[in-house]
Amino acid sequence: MTGNATMSGGWRKSLTAILKLHNGKRIDGEKASDDTRRKRGQVLMLGFRQLRELGCKLKDVRQFKGRHMRILVDHWVAEGLSASVIQNRISIFRSFCGWIGKPGMILPSVHYVTDPKRVTRSSIASRDHSWSAQGVDPVQVMDQVRQIEPWVAMALILQWALGLRVRESLMFRPWLADLGQLVDVTRGTKGGRQRTIKMTESRQRAVLDEAKAFVSGKDASIAPVALTLKQAKNRFYTVLRQAGITKQRGMTAHGLRHEFANAYFEAMAGYASPVRGGPKPVDKAVERHARLEVAESLGHSRESITTHYLGR
């Protein structure tokens, strides 16, 4: 498609062509998930439609400039959108600018607002989001889930014991993941980032052995082979609602990652995390090492991400 042909088709046609060419891949070149593709498409379509409503009549989305990003952010702030939503939308437009040959055009979020707090989300946990902190026994709840759908319960148990994300637990192949004292997490990871998890508790070995006995073969994953990943995720969250695992009760699947992170930190540091009332660290090197171990086990590389789970 030539530039003139795209121009004559209008902004919507030009955006559709760019999405078709680039939206199927992540930054690392791997295939993007259905959720990622859908969200990027929705945010970009909405953004360019809002620009037209705000008086910016772009004939082709390749005409997008830095001032257009500023106009959109001002509009989103005026709408009262949360910092995390605005930040996420800016990130999607940053990827878009890379697609159209304008990498680096989108500045850090704080450059588009007078009050940095409007686009800065705090990652410091002020309270413990784990299930046990809500007075809930994870094992008891998982037993209830097992009565509804055994494979959903198995996925939850893996999230609790190994800190897996939902997608990772559904795609988890326990036989291939078992490396003795380490667990390999490859399939379904965020950004395609492989990691290994150290098993520090006997319950983790017991859970991994349970998962191996649960699946039908050495190449089998936790979610039923008859379901697509999208179908498995839909069924997973449906079962959670049936079992009363809801935000209203202070319970989410992500809360099991908090459960894992705090238990793992205590195993590494020898004392409870700040969010669980732990003491001020005597040895900062020990604290930093424990936090880095937690970050790596969760699939992150930055120590700062642990404040979301452990507090400061």
Q: Is there a contact between 98 and 44 (Cβ–Cβ < 8 Å)? A: no
Write the single-letter amino acid at 69.
M
Q: What local confidence, expressed as pLDDT, does residue 238 receive?
A: 95
Residue spans per domain, the chain: 3-119, 132-310
Contacts of 308 (CB under 8 A, 6+ apart): 123, 124, 125
Q: What local confidence, expressed as pLDDT, does residue 109 receive?
A: 77
Residue carrying the six token digits 């070995």: 205
Q: What local confidence, expressed as pLDDT, does residue 208 receive?
A: 96
| Whole-angstrom distance, CA of residue 290 vs CA of residue 167 | 25
The DSSP bridge partners found for residue 31 are 25
Q: What local confidence, expressed as pLDDT, does residue 1 receive?
A: 38
Q: Is there a contact between 158 and 169 (Cβ–Cβ < 8 Å)? A: yes
Q: Which long-range contacts (CB under 8 A, 24 or more apart) does 297-303 make?
A: 297/163, 297/195, 297/197, 297/198, 297/260, 297/261, 297/264, 298/163, 298/257, 298/260, 298/261, 299/165, 299/168, 299/185, 299/189, 299/190, 299/193, 299/195
Joined tokens for residue 193: 């980032």
Superfamily grouping for domain 132-310? Intergrase catalytic core (1.10.443.10)
CA diameter of the chain: 67
Per-10-residue mean pLDDT, the chain, length 312 = 46 94 76 85 95 92 94 89 84 92 86 65 64 87 94 96 94 95 91 87 93 93 94 95 87 90 89 85 84 87 80 80
| Count of alpha carbons within 13 angstroms of residue 312, beta-carbon side | 4
